[in-house]
Amino acid sequence: MLFCLPALLEGETTFSEESAASSTPEEKKDSDDVDEEKVECFAKLMTTIGSSLELQSMAMKNVGKTDAADKLEECWATVERMAGLRKDGHAPAVSNRIKFMLQDLIEMRKKEWVTRRKEETAKTLAQIHKEVAKEERAAARRSSSQQNLRRLGSSGDVRRMSANNIKPTVDKDGFVQVQQGFGRSMSMGNMHRSSSRGSVTQSPRNTKNKVAMKKVPSGSSFAPLVETPGPGQQQNMSPGRKEKTSTAEAASPKTADFKTPDECGDKAKNILKEYFVGGDTDDAILSFDELIVAGKDGSVDRGAKMVESGVLLVLEMKKDDVEKTLAIFSRLIDEKKIEGESLSKGLNDPLEFLSDIAIDAPLAGDHLANIISSFVKSGAITLDFLLSAPDYFRTDGKAAQFAAKVIKKMGAEEDTASLEVVEKLMTCDDKEAHPSAKELVASC
């Protein structure tokens, strides 16, 4: 593919050397024009596979094969000349539309292949439901303070007027007059205080049964005061309130239905993909927490499937995506929202299929070593979990070399326990090539 790209940028020159020498300047100019349809195909193609091509060419360059990287750099140099960003050579003339298209392509490459505008695509019902749920949560947070203010409205004064048979009168000019007795002293002394736990009437004349006032924590700055009943008093609660309380208790997490591990794996991939294109970290953490529900029945299997799907997804992606995934995992570990057993169990499949994945994604080994070293350094798992990894990984997957790579990323080359793990993973061929685990680590 890398060697086909230059053909899309070349001009359609049909002149021979003899005819070129005798041609007019106008004819030479026409011969240097490019096929703009081919250039547009180049831009569309690179928008789709440009990131993968650059990763592959960089991996080949790291092992000493520079042909692909050099050819790709030549293509980019030609593109920059066509876009008017370089003046160090002759560039075929292209229309402004193509020029701006190439400038957008160069800008996207500089931003690590992130498009400037997110393209709208068809969404599944699950994605639509998730967006609706997110908007509802945001609306609930915004309206929490307004709800508290509405609860503390002036309707208590009106009810007090009705209870005391204080009726307004209309004077001869048509203005409504309130009879004496409803004023500041009454509204401040006899009003009903509303709170989320019920309603208690306080009277300044009631000195025998005093009530203690305490503040209740609230998500709003307008936290209502709740009156704690004294001896012999009971707090009023309406039947509707009791019914709501019993309904909330019936819907407690004890009876909640959890998703299957496979469903958690599919959801985890969708959450990460959304997060990679500019998603919110807190929303991602909340979504994973709702999937795993650490500490509940089956949480280890749900967390393991989430780890497995997430790791397999990012092994074929860029280093930045791996770092973003590790940031999510680190918060889940720090906030105790995933168990260590889920991490070790979820790494089994990525370890078993690592050699196959590395054929198409040469950086997969480095990515997985970074992930495991981060887990070990956090204290969630220990390196000796590799001793119980799948048989194929321990026999044919160069397990000792992989463990040595993890140790070097951790900076634990002198750690005795880590070196013992490498020693146990070494095969007969490894021991013939390296007499000790320390020498094997040093050679990696």
Beta bridge partners of 214: 226
User: What stretch of H or E contains 195?
Assistant: strand 192-195
Does pLDDT of 20 surpass 50? Answer: no
Give the pLDDT score at 33: 67
404-428: average pLDDT = 88
Q: What does the pLDDT look like over 106-130, one tens digit per residue? A: 988 888 888 766 666 777 888 888 8
Beta bridge partners of 200: 193
118-144: average pLDDT = 79
* 307 close to 347: Cβ distance less than 8 angstroms: yes
DSSP letters spanning 60-117: HHHTT--HHHHHHHHHHHHHHHHTTS--SS------HHHHHHHHHHHHHHHTTS--SS
Please, how many CA atoms are within 13 Å of residue 427, restricted to the half-sphere of its CB? 12
Give the pLDDT score at 200: 40
Please tell me the distance from the alpha carbon of residue 79 to that of residue 86, in angstroms, as a whole number: 9
Closest CA to 377 of 387, 367, 369: 369
Can you say whether residue 84 is alpha, beta or left, with left for phi > 0 and alpha for psi between -120 and 50 degrees?
left
What number of other Cβ atoms are within 10 A of residue 107's Cβ?
Answer: 13
pTM of the model: 0.44
Q: What does the pLDDT look like over 220-253, one tens digit per residue? A: 444 444 444 444 444 444 444 444 444 444 444 4
202-220: average pLDDT = 43
Please tell me the distance from the alpha carbon of residue 406 to that of residue 441, in angstroms, as a whole number: 10
Please tell me the distance from the alpha carbon of residue 89 to that of residue 3, in angstroms, as a whole number: 21
Give the pLDDT score at 196: 42
Q: Cα-flanking dihedrals φ and ψ of residue 192, to 5°?
A: -80, 125
Q: What does the pLDDT look like over 258-295, one tens digit per residue? A: 889 998 999 998 999 888 888 788 999 999 999 898 88
Contacts of residues 46-52 at CB distance under 8 Å and 24 or more positions apart, as own/partner, are 46/5, 46/105, 46/109, 47/105, 47/108, 47/115, 49/1, 50/105, 50/108, 50/109, 50/113, 51/112, 51/113, 51/318
- Residue 282 is classified by DSSP as H
Please tell me the distance from the alpha carbon of residue 285 to that of residue 256, in angstroms, as a whole number: 20
Please tell me the distance from the alpha carbon of residue 202 to that of residue 225, in angstroms, as a whole number: 12
* 46 close to 55: Cβ distance less than 8 angstroms: no
CA distance to 32, 34, 39, 76, per residue, from 10 (Å): 9, 6, 9, 13
Give the pLDDT score at 32: 54
